[in-house]
Amino acid sequence: MKEPWSGPIQKVNDYCYEIPQSYKSGMRVPGRIYANEILLKDIFRDYAPEQVANAAFLPGIVKHSLAMPDIHWGYGFCIGGVAATDPEDGGVITPGGVGFDINCGVRLIRTNLKQGEIRDKIEGLINTLAQEVPAGLGSKSEMKISHEELRKVIVEGSGWAVRRGYGVERDLEFTEERGAIRGANPDKISQRAYERGRAQVGTLGSGNHFCEVQVIDEVYEPKIAEVFNLFKGQITVMIHTGSRGFGYQVCDDYLKMMLPYFDKEKLPDRQLVCAPLNSKEGKNYFAAMCCAANYAWANRQSLMHLVRKGFEKFFGKKWQDLGMDLIYDVAHNIAKFEKHIVDGEEKTLCVHRKGATRAFPPGHPDVPLRYKRVGQPVIIPGDMGRCSFLLVGTEKAAETFYSTCHGAGRVMSRTAAIKSINAKALSQELRSKGIIVRTAGRETLAEEAPQAYKDVADVVDVVAGAGISKKVCRMKPLGVVKG
């Protein structure tokens, strides 16, 4: 076990700290970590700050290597890592800056239901959702998708699901990239990835993925909440999952393809293996990553359809009559070409966000028209025992390439959690708080225990304090389906 990280850190302000460029020969830019003094103690427990410094070696990196307050150790980049590279300046793309679960992300659904209406029904509702939503390691969908059909899925994304009747056109309006990023090329996907992906569209998966029924218990910005048609005491649903085995295989395939090009003299970590954005290898990975991102959006759209079906079955009403509209869907693990101002000049950059959320401000062209005056919704899930948040992007987030945190961030490995946490006692504790949990795996409850995570409220306070996001409302869990 490594000792706690003890490299140099300089305070920029109460919510931002900097690893100087002089820390390691070869760093092209400084590293910046958004945190406060309390969170820094957790952050220094592992070597995630070293990964922030290592990412600063990437060719073409612009301004800073960044980390959000939910930072923890990951593959290549830390979880919570953000880096933008300039294709005009030899900029690269790295699978380690996107992650294995490509476009792991989250969507938030409103309802017309109030807490009092379901207070005594939550266990039955969660049991119904557990029956409707395939969850767990290796979980398979009832959808029968051929190889040719899967090629359509990975190009069309959420639109594929909507055209099959798994949602409505409005859902696409409130999904990042309308649920399909351009540039996907099915020919850049391996046969193994196709095999793994065929049976998993419309499945939740395992680990920290979940479907959660929540209640809004605090509203910080009533006028913004009104734009989203949200109010205190309202029932919401959050879905968190990604591209499943398909995305994992894409990442694994391209890490192996790029490895022969690894230059240990330029990069300190093999996990940062990369390729120039303008190279054949870089373009091929981006095209494959887009396929996996679109797979993830089709997956979350299909899961929302199953959740709506579960609500219809339980309440005996159509989902439209229950007011189950999508608020928004955002990606957490992705690399995207975006326009940003650098030293007064507009540039097209490749922004890697790994365990980080896009946070565009009011008026940004990529914010849906209905939300244009308030900014892009930013959905931040917490652990199953505390709370989650809805925020919006801000203009100040330009300093992070319009990025913010994506969740609570682990402080305990899954192995350590399983060893130290009694799942049965935890289940009883959650039930005593009125939280019903259904898990497909025996060890999932311990792995995902609240004490294995930072308090998401502390994480959100940092991004709000730094001004890179604004708090709109807080949701508390009532019931959770986990893999």
Q: For the chain, report the end-to-end CA distance as a whole number of angstroms.
A: 29
Q: At what angle do helices 244-258 and 280-315 cross, to 10 degrees?
A: 170
Residue 68's SS3 state is strand
Is 72 a catalytic site residue?
Answer: no
d(CA 137, CA 204): 9
Please state, in angstroms and rounded to a whole number, the distance separating the CA atoms of residues 418 and 415. 5
- Check if the beta carbon of residue 384 is closer than 8 Å to that of residue 477: yes
Q: Taking CA 67 as the corner, what is the angle to CA 66 and CA 68, rounded to the nearest 5 degrees?
A: 130
From CA 133, how far away is CA 73, in angstroms rounded? 30
Listed in order, strand segments (DSSP E) in 39-195 are: 65-72, 79-85, 92-93, 105-114
Exactly one of 240, 305, 332, 406 is catalytic; name it.
406
Phi, psi of 36, deg, nearest 5: -120, 180
Unique residue bearing structure tokens 């029956």? 131
Instruction: Spell out the long-range contacts of 418-426 with Cβ–Cβ below 8 A and sequence spacing 24 or more.
Output: 418/443, 418/446, 418/447, 421/446, 421/449, 421/451, 421/452, 422/446
Spatial contact of 438 and 482, defined as CB atoms under 8 Å apart: yes
Tokens representing residue 123 in the block: 């266990």
Instruction: Report the 10 Å Cβ neighbour count for 125.
Output: 21
The pair of structure tokens assigned to 183 is 């540039």
CA distance 10 to 35: 12
Which single residue is written with the structure tokens 């557990």? 130
- In sign, the C-alpha dihedral spanning 443, 447, 449, 451 is positive
In angstroms, the CA 226 to CA 232 distance is 11
Q: Considering only CA atoms, which of 387, 378, 385 is closest in space to residue 405?
A: 378
Here the tokens at position 462 are 């940092």
Considering only the C-alpha atoms of the chain, give the largest distance between any 2 of them, rounded to a whole number of Å. Answer: 64
Cα four-point dihedral sign 328, 334, 336, 342: positive
Position of tokens 């509209």? 325
DSSP state of 201: T
Residues 6+ apart with CB under 8 A from 291: 154, 155, 184, 185, 186, 188, 189, 250
Query: Is the CB of residue 194 less than 8 Å from the CB of residue 180?
Result: no
> Are residues 111 and 228 in contact, defined by beta-carbon separation less than 8 angstroms?
no
Q: Give the catalytic positions in this structure.
A: 406
